[in-house]
Chains A and B, each alone.
Chain A
Amino acid sequence: MSAGKVTAATFDEIVLKSSKPVLVDFWAEWCGPCRAVGPILDDIANEYGDKITIVKLNTDEESAIAIKYGVTSIPMLNVYVNGEVVKTIIGAKPKPALLKDLEGFI
């Protein structure tokens, strides 16, 4: 299971109402580091999918949600627990660093 996609229409159901922690990856096509971190998140989704759900939100397509969550730099990763942002990771990081950042959730 690689990282899925989330849109404004599905945000509530997939992210805010999830019983598991959800990591939302705010990305865009023109953002190099976002594309670099994509496969890393797919890997993590494959390995830890039972503990945390990982989804990607395209900030070009869903700018209202990006503005709502104050995105000023991508890639930006928000971890949501019970509908609230509990952690924000900004910038592309290598897999070991991301796993460390997500320690409490996986």
Chain B
Amino acid sequence: MIRDLVIVGSGPAGYTAAIYAARAQLNPLMYEGSVTAGGALMNTTEVENFPGFVDGVMGPDLMDSMRKQAKRFGTELITDDVVEMDLTGDIKILKDGSGNTVQAKAVILATGSAYREIGLENEKRLSGRGVSWCATCDGFFFRDQTIAVVGGGDSAVEEATFLTKFASKVVLIHRRDTLRASKIMAERALNNPKIEMLWNTEVTDVLGVDKVEGLQLRNLVTGEVSKRDFTGLFVAIGHIPRSELLLSQVTLNSEGYVSVEGQSTRTNLNGVFACGDLVDFTYRQAITAAGTGCQAALDAEKFLSH
């Protein structure tokens, strides 16, 4: 059986695409991901800037609502991963983690992004042993400790602020001398007595045998190298697009983001559309992802009706 449309990925982009595609009676099949269903917002707490929620909404609750909405209109959901794709032909072929194969005339790619790592060997080695990329996931285990957060954008500032609920002290390490974060978030962090700022500083090594015990730091202005004790490191320096499965099929830009035609969601391949953080390296908001998810469904519908 050849389906009309398969959607790969389940953040705001994927679910919005599903809602629109289901209502257009394209009978979409959606791969949500076996452990990543719901996308990046599953790892955040209050979302205050998604329009329509006066008092804010919890990330997981927002995603749960989107999921229910997609299901309501008939989206078929599979909580599994796509592990292989051949998108080059007229009929696209996708294989999932359980070994099943699906064929479709059109595919919407909405796989989003993953956490960027600093790139240090000890960062990887001590992952889960004091090194984390998710404050809401692991902050709980750092009660009354002195921990570090690396980054200068909204994610870093949000994580640092969240972590003050548990840690006795949070040191926010940023390589510049001003935060990139939105003004309201930056202000909250700078006014938080538990947060100490380390400007113009980068982490050059993570120290510790079985768990994080400290960090080696370098001041980017003076060049001075120093060591400081920490029992936790949260890395919040941005994201990288999840385009690993698309290499040599779909046109990607130099950073690995999927290239689309102008303001549309059309990729270089006929019948293949991309949306959300897999494409967007500029805005990367839940609402912009949802917007492009809608566009992808409409682009797919137009394609399928020809």
Contact = CB atoms under 8 A, between A and B. Distances in A.
Does A pair with B? yes
Interface of A: 28, 30-33, 36-37, 40, 66, 70-74, 76, 90-96
B43 A72 contact: no
Interface string B115-151: 0000000000001111010000110111000000000
Interface residues of B, number: 26
Contacts of B140: 28, 30
B238 interface: no
A30 B165 CA distance: 15
Most buried by A among B35, B36, B60, B80: B35
Contact of B137 (A66, A70, A74, A96): A74
Interface of B: 34-38, 42-43, 60, 80-81, 83, 97-98, 127-130, 132, 137-138, 140-142, 210-211, 232
Contacts of A31: 137
Could you tell me the dominant secondary structure of chain A's interface residues? loop
A24 to B, nearest CB: 15
B141 A71 contact: yes
B81 A94 contact: yes
Contacts of A93: 35
Contact of A73 (B42, B98, B138, B210): B138
Given A72-B130, A73-B128, A96-B83, 8 more contacts: A33-B35, A70-B210, A70-B211, A76-B128, A90-B128, A91-B128, A94-B35, A96-B97
Contacts, number: 59
A72 B34 contact: no
A24 B34 CA distance: 20
B232 A72 contact: yes
B60 A32 contact: yes
A90 B127 contact: yes
Contacts of A28: 140
A48 B204 CA distance: 44
Contacts of A71: 141
Contact of A32 (B38, B83, B132): B38
A32 B43 contact: yes
A101 to B, nearest CB: 13
A46 to B, nearest CB: 15
Contact of B128 (A40, A72, A95): A72
15 contacts: A28-B140, A31-B137, A32-B42, A32-B43, A33-B35, A33-B42, A36-B34, A40-B35, A72-B130, A73-B137, A90-B128, A91-B128, A92-B35, A96-B83, A96-B97
A72 B35 contact: no
A30 B26 CA distance: 35
